[in-house]
Structure 1
Amino acid sequence: MRTWHLLASLALVAGLPWLATPAFAGQGRLLATGGATQVEGAAGGGIVPWAVLAGYGTEDEFGGAAFHTRVDTGDYALAAYGAAFTLYNRLELSVARQSFDLGELQRQLALPWDSLDQDIHGAKLRIAGDLVYTHMPQVSVGMQRKRLRDGTLPLALGAHDDAGTDVYVSATKLFLDAAGGYQLLLNGTLRSTRANQGGLLGFGGDRKAGRSVVFEGSAAVLPSPRLALGVEYRQKPDNLGFAREDDWYDVFVAWFPNKHVAVVGAWAELGSIATLDRQRGAYLSLQVGF
C-alpha cells in the first residue's frame, strides 16, 4: 500500500500545475508523442528509453509524468515507480525506485533478503530533430545513475560495484502515413553500461568488469491516435559467471485515452535471471502526466 500512496502523491504533484494553469500542460503536441515511461523512469516504451521527453510541454512550457509499473514472472516480481519532469521540451529529469522481489530464489537458497531495491536518477537532453516535424528523427542523449540500496547480495555473487551509470543515445521518428496508412514509430538506442539485470544484480562482474555497448530497439504501429501496438528488444551484457544474462523482448499495447493518462500492457520475455530460466510474464504500467 505504501507504493500506491507514493504514486498517488506523485500523480497529485504532477497534476497540480495542469489544474492551476491549463497552458502548462502543453496543448500543441500530438497525443501519445510523450510516450509512456520505461521501467527505469525515462520517457519511452516499457523496457527501452526513446528520444521523446516526458509529458506534452512545448518549447515554452513544462511537462512531466508519474508512473507505476509491475512485472511478474511467477518466480520473480519487479515493481517500479517514480516521476519525470521536462523543461521546455529540451531537458528531462527523472527519479525512480525499483524493488525486485526475489521470490523463488529466496525460497530455494533460504536467503536473508526478500528483495533488491535500486534508486535511479536520470537526465535526458534533446539535441536534434523532432519526433514529427523534421525529416531527421528526434535525437536525445541520456544518463541513468543507479545505486542499490543494499548491495551485499550482488557483491557476494561476483558483482564489482553496487552503483553505476548508464549512458545512452536514442533516435526516434513517428511517420504519420506509413504502415498501411497508419502511423509508425521507430526507435533505436545505443547504451553504454556495466549493469547486471539493469543494475539489480550490481555492476560489472567476474566475467567482464568493464562497459558494454548494447543495442535497444522499438517499433509500434498506431491504428488510432489513442492506441499503439508494438514490440521491443533490449540487448544485455553478460558479466556474471554464476548466472547468464539473456536479452529482453516484449510485445505491448499502449492506450492513451487523453494527454493525462497512459496505460501499457505487455508480455515480456526476460530469459534467465539469477539462475532461473524462462522468466516471462505480464507487464502493466500506469502513467499520469501533463
Structure 2
Amino acid sequence: MKNWLPRCARTPKWIAAVVLACTLAAPAAAQQADLFDGGKLLLTNGVSSIQGASGGGLATWSTIAGRGTDAGVGLSAHATLVELPDYGFQSHGVSVGLFNRVELSYARQNFDTRDVGTALGLGKGFTFNQDIFAAKVRLAGDVVYGDPFMPQIAVGIEHKRSADTPIVRAVGATEGSGTDFTLSATKLFLSHSLLVNTTLRLTKANQNGLLGFGSASGKKHSLQFEGSVAYQLSRRAVIGAEYRTKPDNLAIAREDDWWDLFAAYAITKNITITAAYVDLGSIATFDRQRGGFLSAQFAF
C-alpha cells in the first residue's frame, strides 16, 4: 500500500475534471438525503473486474460501482487472486460511483512469472506490474428498472500504464501504455432471475496490457467482445459464465480468448465473495493456464 498513494497522486487530469463536473451536476435531492444511501438491490452493482471497473470477474459491465443510487455516492474496494499452473495474478483497487451515473476506478495488477521467469530470461519470480485508471458513464437505461427490454448502456475508458516498459518492448510490444474504450449493455430480467451483458472493447493490449500494447505487425486498436450470463439463485447468490475475446499481437507468444464459470455470494449487503474456474489459455508460450479465481469486494 505504501506505493499506492504516489501513483494515485498522478491520476490523469481528465478524471479530476469528471469528478468536478458530476459533483456540480448532482441532483438536488442528493444534497438533502444521506449521501451514501446504499439503496441498490443486492448484487446489482456487479463485482470488481480484474481491470477495476465494475462488472464480472473478467468482463466490464455497464453497472456503476458502489451501492449508491441516483441520489447518492457509492464506494467499493476489491482484492483478487488468480492461481494458474505456471503463474500467479493479483489485483487490488478502489472505485467510486457518482449518483449512479459516473464511475471512476483505479486498479493495480501484479503478474508473478514464478519459475517461468527463469525460462523467459527475466529471473525467477519476476513480476509484471500495471496501473489502470478508468472512467465509465451511464448513457441510458437501468439494469433493473424501466423498460424490461431496455438495457443499461454505458461507455468507458481505461488508461493502462505498464511499470515494466523496457521489458514489454523487449518481448515485442511497441508501447508501455495504452487506452481501451468500451461500450456495454447490461440488463437483469427480474421475472427470470437472469442477467445478460455484452461489451465491445477497442484495445491493443497484450494480455490485458501486462505485456504492453501493440506490436510491429499490429499497432492499431482491434474490436473485441465480452459476454456474460448470470442466474440469480437467491437474493444473495448468483452463478454464471463469461467469455472474452483477445487480440493476438505478439509474434513470440500466442494469445487465447478467456472464459470462466463463476459464483458470487453477498455475505452482507457490503461484502461479496466471488469464486470462479478460469481458462486463460496460452500465456507467454505456456499453454493450458487454467485455475482458480477468488475475489472479495467491499461496497458501500
TM normalised by structure 2 equals 0.87
Residue pairs, 1:250-289, within 5 angstroms: 250-289=260-299
Give 1:241's aligned amino acid.
A
Give 2:142's aligned amino acid.
D
Residue pairs, 1:176-191, within 5 angstroms: 176-178=190-192, 183-191=193-201
Give 1:176's aligned amino acid.
L
Give 1:109's aligned amino acid.
L
Q: 1:31 aligns with which of 42, 47, 71?
A: 42
> Given the alignment of the two structures, is residue 40 of structure 1 paired with residue 40 of structure 2, yes or no?
no
Q: Mean Cα displacement is larger for which, 71-80 or 99-108?
A: 99-108
| Residue 207 of structure 1, CA deviation | 3.0
In structure 1, the residue matched to 2:226 is 216
Q: Mean Cα displacement is larger for which, 132-141 or 99-108?
A: 99-108
C-alpha distance in 2 between matches for 1:91 and 1:27: 16
Give 2:230's aligned amino acid.
A
In structure 2, the residue matched to 1:165 is 179
| Residue 111 of structure 1, CA deviation | 1.4
| Residue 80 of structure 1, CA deviation | 0.3
In structure 2, the residue matched to 1:207 is 217
**CA contact 2:35–2:71 (8 Å) conserved in 1:** no
In structure 2, the residue matched to 1:123 is 135
Residue pairs, 1:216-235, within 5 angstroms: 216-235=226-245
Residue pairs, 1:10-159, within 5 angstroms: 23-112=34-123, 114-135=126-147, 136-159=150-173
TM normalised by structure 1 equals 0.90
In structure 2, the residue matched to 1:248 is 258
| Residue 53 of structure 1, CA deviation | 0.5
Q: Mean Cα displacement is larger for which, 101-110 or 190-199?
A: 101-110
C-alpha distance in 2 between matches for 1:231 and 1:104: 30
C-alpha distance in 1 between matches for 2:116 and 2:214: 21
Moved over 6 A (4+): none
C-alpha distance in 1 between matches for 2:76 and 2:38: 15
C-alpha distance in 1 between matches for 2:268 and 2:37: 12
C-alpha distance in 1 between matches for 2:216 and 2:234: 48
Name the one with the larger strand percent. Answer: 1
Give 1:251's aligned amino acid.
L
Q: Deviations over 1:117-174 (max 9, x none)?
A: 0000000000000001122100000010000012121100110100000000100000
In structure 1, the residue matched to 2:14 is none
**CA contact 2:38–2:74 (8 Å) conserved in 1:** no
| Residue 289 of structure 1, CA deviation | 1.4
| Residue 259 of structure 1, CA deviation | 2.1
Q: Deviations over 1:164-205 (max 9, x none)?
A: 000001000001111xxxx10000000000000000000001
C-alpha distance in 2 between matches for 1:37 and 1:152: 29
| Residue 66 of structure 1, CA deviation | 0.3
> How well do the aligned residues superpose, as a CA RMSD in angstroms?
1.8
Instruction: Quote the sequence identity (%).
Output: 47
C-alpha distance in 2 between matches for 1:108 and 1:194: 26
C-alpha distance in 2 between matches for 1:169 and 1:110: 38
| Residue 206 of structure 1, CA deviation | 2.8
C-alpha distance in 2 between matches for 1:256 and 1:26: 18
Give 5+ residue unaligned stretches, structure 2: 6-32
| Residue 107 of structure 1, CA deviation | 2.5
C-alpha distance in 1 between matches for 2:227 and 2:120: 35
C-alpha distance in 2 between matches for 1:218 and 1:170: 11
Give 5+ residue unaligned stretches, structure 1: 7-21
**CA contact 2:141–2:151 (8 Å) conserved in 1:** yes
C-alpha distance in 1 between matches for 2:288 and 2:217: 22
| Residue 105 of structure 1, CA deviation | 1.8
Residue correspondences, number: 270
